[in-house]
Amino acid sequence: MKYLLLLIFLGVVWWVWKKRSVEPLQPPAKRPDPQAEKMVVCAHCGLLLPESDSLAAGADFYCCEAHRQAGSTGRQ
Ligand SMILES: [Zn+2]
């Protein structure tokens, strides 16, 4: 009976150890790529800039307020 308890104890230890060793490593959390931000072109001067830095006017984007007011007529 004493050896049976010891055997069960060793079995539990082995089972826990095996379960821990098999456990897959957590993949590193995916961070949003700062380079993945959408780039837009100023409809007036053609400057490429991040969408968050641009000024939107309808379907067009502009690099600054002056170009937004000037509109897209300056560049053809
Ligand atoms: Zn511009």
Helix (H, G, I), strand (E, B) or coil at 13: helix
**Cβ density class 4-35: b for 16+ within 10 Å, e for less:** eeeeeeeeeeeeeeeeeeeeeeeeeeeeeeee
- Global pTM reads 0.49
Distance (angstroms) between ligand 1 centre and the Cα of 13 equals: 68
Q: What is the pLDDT of residue 30?
A: 72
Distance (angstroms) between ligand 1 centre and the Cα of 64 equals: 6
Distance (angstroms) between ligand 1 centre and the Cα of 58 equals: 15
Helix (H, G, I), strand (E, B) or coil at 27: coil
Residues with Cβ within 8 Å of 23's Cβ and at least 6 positions away in sequence, in order, are: none
Domain spans of the chain, in order of start: 36-70
Q: Which residues surround ligand 1, an ion (CB under 5 A)?
A: 42, 44-45, 47, 63, 67
Q: What is the pLDDT of residues 15-62, one digit of tens each?
A: 989 888 876 667 777 766 656 789 999 999 999 999 999 999 999 999
With cut-offs at 50, 70 and 90, classify the pLDDT of residue 75: very low
R_g (Cα) of the chain, nearest Å? 31
